[in-house]
Chains A and B, each alone.
Chain A
């Protein structure tokens, strides 16, 4: 009713509607027009490559051969039988779960600390955000030197405090730990660097969630007599669940599909001990030229990710707090 009343004088002022005027006034025309760029973008950059990947995975495509023959599920069977694939799948899951748990716990602690007022808070915030703003390849190269088998400053510090390189030292008598050369340490390194990288964003997300908890609720908790841990686990974390699940969802999907750190730091080595699905798909499909198997490996991520996303979003909605 209101709309009709408001529109009449406008039409009278504008006179006969022009083509553009008509377009802008009509919601039926304008809405599809406004949403079109987003849909085009998704179709071109997500939908098309996705369908192409499905197509490749069912063919015998290689980099050198452009003729495609349908081979059914042969690629998937071959991939599943490959021990490196199974190792990569296992590594991906370990890599994702451990780094995400670390990220969430550390982000929560940092966010709680940043909620308090203290001197130099802006500097702390700035430093915490820094890893996120630095180009990841550059940051990872920095870490490569930190973890170098000879020049590692971490090893140097450990040697200085006598934990390494001396007779009877806890971490061994060798002069270096060879971070990226020993399978378990290589995995640890990859996870820690990834945690370092994901921490800032998760902290900022959780901090936003924490500041959104009404002060009166926190006051009520205090008057009701709850201590720090009860307040944290029975009030703050449950109230943050929607936000935490968004942070976790984002982190998990990002981690699952990311290969930069593995690629720069270890190239999946030593002996595939840090190989993840994304890096294995890349090595197999692009470097080794077997597009079909690369696509099949990459597609393994999809159902896992879809399930994860649905689960997390349902969790976020169920625990919705008003």
Chain B
């Protein structure tokens, strides 16, 4: 078991800066998720930690040791790739045994180790098959077993669930988290899917344009976004952002409720909400519209749970309210969190 640290790491491809000075330190046994839109540098960062990419500047430390110039095989890491990267011409057994062979482990222990890793993921019956004879979910388990078999200090996972269908993804997520808890190996997980990130991570590092915008628990990054990017990236739909004077302020769609529902609280901010359009999503109602003319950029969304049955019609104007504690303020120039101002 080990911690992973990157210090001031930069990666440039020609004129493009993929990773722009990232500092990051995992805790021991932590499940850390790198979350961001495509092209934000999260995969490049992971590949630098793995040793598959050489950083332009900065250092990678694993277990306190600088490993920047070491090849992947001596870093004590294992990696699971988006496509799983199973060796197509080898059986599942040989796939899982390959890292052992490559490490020069004695032949006598291959079988024992492969069986152990396979049983951990319930794929003992598939050992004689070739990857092309497996389903997506089975391939993913084989890839995990192959990563597992060397008992690495650090697990690196690059969008390992993105090739699974939605239903399988949910169960795979649960299994993955359970498995990580059981073995307690430090894990870094790259994804662009915020549901995965929130569900799996002990902490989530939100990245954009090669930088870490915020690192924190899923709760923190959702409820206390450090800047407007994080606020606008997380949540479906994301935080409503409005502007007033030198501030941008925002509130989550689910905190934006009809006044009568949020009634009883005195500490609320009221808005005149002119409804333009509505979507019924089963568990929720999404209500789109504009708030009073005192704000620029005034298009907002409200998300009402199904148990809020207040009748709402497009074309009408209603009084909605947000608890003041749910309003988040950002500096309009920098996008960073700032002190509240009266609205």
Contact = CB atoms under 8 A, between A and B. Distances in A.
A239 B88 CA distance: 8
A321 interface: yes
Interface string A224-237: 11110010001100
A220 B73 CA distance: 10
Q: Is the interface of A mostly helix, strand, loop or mixed?
A: helix
A119 B28 CA distance: 44
A321 B88 contact: yes
Contact of B77 (A223, A227, A230, A322): A223
B121 interface: no
Interface string A34-62: 00000000000000000000000000000
Contact of B85 (A217, A241, A319): A217
Contact of A223 (B72, B89, B101): B72
B79 A220 contact: yes
- Interface-central residue, B51, B71, B90, B102, by most chain A CB under 10 Å: B102
A82 interface: no
Contacts of B81: 216, 219-220
B89 A239 contact: yes
A226 B71 contact: no
Contact of A225 (B52, B83, B88, B103): B103
B82 A226 contact: no
B2 interface: no
A244 B45 CA distance: 36
B83 A224 contact: no
Interface in B50-106: 50-52, 71-74, 77-79, 81-83, 85, 87-90, 98-99, 101-103
B78 A223 contact: yes
B72 A238 contact: no
Contacts of B265: none
Interface in A306-322: 319, 321-322
Contact of B79 (A214, A219, A227): A219
Contacts of A25: none
Interface residues of B, number: 28
- Interface-central residue, B52, B82, B146, by most chain A CB under 10 Å: B52
Nearest to A224: B99
Contacts of A241: 89
Given A223-B78, A223-B79, A217 B52 contact: no
A225 B73 contact: yes
B89 A224 contact: no
A284 B158 CA distance: 66
A287 interface: no
A243 to B, nearest CB: 13
A220 B85 contact: yes
Contact of B87 (A222, A223, A225, A235): A235
A230 B103 CA distance: 11
A239 B90 CA distance: 10
B132 interface: yes
Given A216-B81, A216-B83, A321-B88, A224 B52 contact: no
A206 B101 CA distance: 27
B89 A226 contact: no
Contacts of A220: 79, 81, 85, 87
Contacts of A214: 83, 85
B85 A225 contact: no
B273 to A, nearest CB: 45
Contact of B102 (A225, A319, A322): A225
Nearest to A239: B89
A239 B131 CA distance: 13
A239 B146 CA distance: 19
Given A222-B52, A224-B73, A226-B98, A319 B89 contact: yes
Given A217-B85, A239-B88, A239-B89, A223 B98 contact: no
B343 to A, nearest CB: 50
A219 B50 CA distance: 10
- Interface-central residue, B50, B81, B85, by most chain A CB under 10 Å: B85
Interface in A191-238: 214, 216-217, 219-220, 222-227, 230, 234-235, 238
Nearest to A238: B89
A239 B132 CA distance: 13
B90 to A, nearest CB: 8
A270 B263 CA distance: 108
A215 B313 CA distance: 53
A220 B85 CA distance: 6
A234 B101 CA distance: 11
A225 B72 contact: yes
A322 B52 contact: no
A216 B71 CA distance: 16
Interface of A: 214, 216-217, 219-220, 222-227, 230, 234-235, 238-239, 241, 319, 321-322
29 contacts: A216-B81, A216-B83, A216-B85, A219-B50, A219-B79, A219-B81, A219-B85, A220-B81, A220-B85, A220-B87, A222-B71, A222-B72, A222-B73, A223-B72, A223-B73, A223-B77, A223-B79, A224-B73, A224-B98, A224-B99, A225-B99, A226-B73, A230-B101, A234-B98, A235-B87, A239-B89, A241-B89, A321-B132, A322-B131
In the complex, the 5 A-B pairs of residues with the closest C-beta atoms, listed nearest first: A225-B73, A220-B85, A216-B85, A321-B88, A224-B99
Interface of B: 47, 50-52, 71-74, 77-79, 81-83, 85, 87-90, 98-99, 101-103, 131-132, 146, 150
Given A223-B73, A224-B99, A226-B98, 8 more contacts: A216-B83, A223-B79, A224-B102, A224-B146, A225-B99, A230-B102, A321-B88, A321-B132
